[in-house]
Amino acid sequence: MDLLNTLVDKGLRRELPTREEALAVLATSDDDVLDVVAAAGKVRRHWFGRRVKLNYLVNLKSGLCPEDCSYCSQRLGSTTGILKYSWLKPDEASRAAAAGLAGGAKRVCLVASGRGPTDRDVDRVSETIRAIKDQNEGVEVCACLGLLSDGQAERLREAGADAYNHNLNTSEATYGDITTTHTYADRVDTVSKAHAAGLSACSGLIAGMGESDEDLVDVVFSLRELDPDSVPVNFLIPVEGTPLGKEWNLTPQRCLRILAMVRFVCPDVEVRIAGGREVHLRTQQPLALHLANSIFLGDYLTTEGQAGKADLEMIADAGFEVEGAGEITLPEHRATTAGGGCGSHAEAGCGSHAEAGCGSVCGSHEGGSVCGTAAAAAPAGEPRTDLVAVRRRGAGTDLAPNA
């Protein structure tokens, strides 16, 4: 297919595809999906080899958010029954992070619900960052706290933060249909503040909210222009009790095409599969590793994810290897200019969807999935509510986390 050969050549040269080429990837048929994966896989391997970076979310403050993001279980007026608690103490957050690091994660993503942090909140998070860094040599820390005010990114950087996550989520044209309590421009401003402070910027999207192909291409091209070091791709988990709770628009093949398009547009960036992979990719998750070089380990902010052990087995069985703590994630030309570590919703955790803190969507989605639970096969396109479970373990509980 001439299109794919052209896109591979451009990806190896870090050349931006045309909008028409990106749209054509999304328009390919299910019969061609393996060819699309194989082509984008060449670009992924060129820049990242067969390494898979593991990231781990710690939900520092859950629920009670004043924002109205339609995808989020922590939104104002949510009736989803999620865990609700105020700020974890630094030692509690450090213990939660240790579980993920022990499971192989090299980056910890600290997420808090809310529009954005107060200066006192920045002090709390700074103390938590120092506690985690003191107890875990070489760990990367990404913060995801929502919209930043002047000077806050610099303070987080001084405390030891390596990265800051704030997702664009969707195109500028449709942003007002998803959220009304802050704007698309607010999100762009926060990503710019992180960049300017020397933090590695992390910003991504949520697919499956009813957007068009044009919307998906628009937001990914906007991300390319913002030049984050990492781009988390969330797949909407329609959680009962949220305005988008009935939006089941994705198939595994559609998800693979979206990831391939992101890889072609952002060839040398850490592309992370964030929230919703278990629910929408399901048994096709291993194929997605040929497109993305980063995933979240274990549970998400307010929902359960695949068992950590299953993640590690999946990576090994697919012929990939977990990226070591001493390895540099980004290609040399990006690593030498990146603002912090390797670049990792305000409610979601660093690069995770749904339950991010309303000021930013971080990278893991809201309704994770129930892993290790057998379920009868459902017809293609049917809602898989059986794969969505509210998190009842880990941070904010007395039960051991899933890592």
- C-alpha–C-alpha distance, residues 7 and 349, integer Å: 31
- C-alpha–C-alpha distance, residues 267 and 262, integer Å: 8
User: Which of 44, 69, 124, 334 is labelled catalytic?
Assistant: 69
Q: At what angle do helices 19-27 and 252-265 cross, to 10 degrees?
A: 160
Does the annotation place 272 within a ligand binding site? yes
User: Which of 44, 107, 109, 266 is labelled catalytic?
Assistant: 109
Per the structure block, which two tokens stand in for 79? 């009736």
Per the structure block, which two tokens stand in for 323? 């990226």
Active site annotation includes 69: yes
User: Which of 44, 124, 142, 371 is labelled catalytic?
Assistant: 142
User: Which of 44, 72, 115, 187 is labelled catalytic?
Assistant: 72
Q: How far is CA 261 from the centre of its chain?
A: 16
CA-derived radius of gyration, the chain: 19
Active site annotation includes 342: no
Active site annotation includes 144: no
User: Which of 157, 263, 272, 384 is labelled catalytic?
Assistant: 272
Active site annotation includes 272: yes
DSSP secondary structure string for all residues of 146-191: SSPPTTHHHHHHHHT--EEE---BS-TTTHHHH-SSS-HHHHHHHH
CA distances from 75 to 65, 68, 207, 243 (A): 5, 5, 18, 10
Does the annotation place 65 within a ligand binding site? yes
Under 8 Å CB-to-CB from 13, ≥6 apart: which residues?
A: none
User: Which of 107, 144, 187, 202 is labelled catalytic?
Assistant: 202
| Contact call for residues 394 and 368 (beta carbons, < 8 A) | no
Does the annotation place 69 within a ligand binding site? yes
Does the annotation place 109 within a ligand binding site? yes
User: Which of 44, 65, 124, 350 is labelled catalytic?
Assistant: 65
Active site annotation includes 202: yes
Query: Which residues are annotated as catalytic?
Result: 65, 69, 72, 109, 142, 202, 272
Residues flagged as binding site for [2Fe-2S] cluster: 109, 142, 202, 272
Q: Which residues are annotated as a binding site for [4Fe-4S] cluster?
A: 65, 69, 72
Residue positions forming the annotated binding site? 65, 69, 72, 109, 142, 202, 272
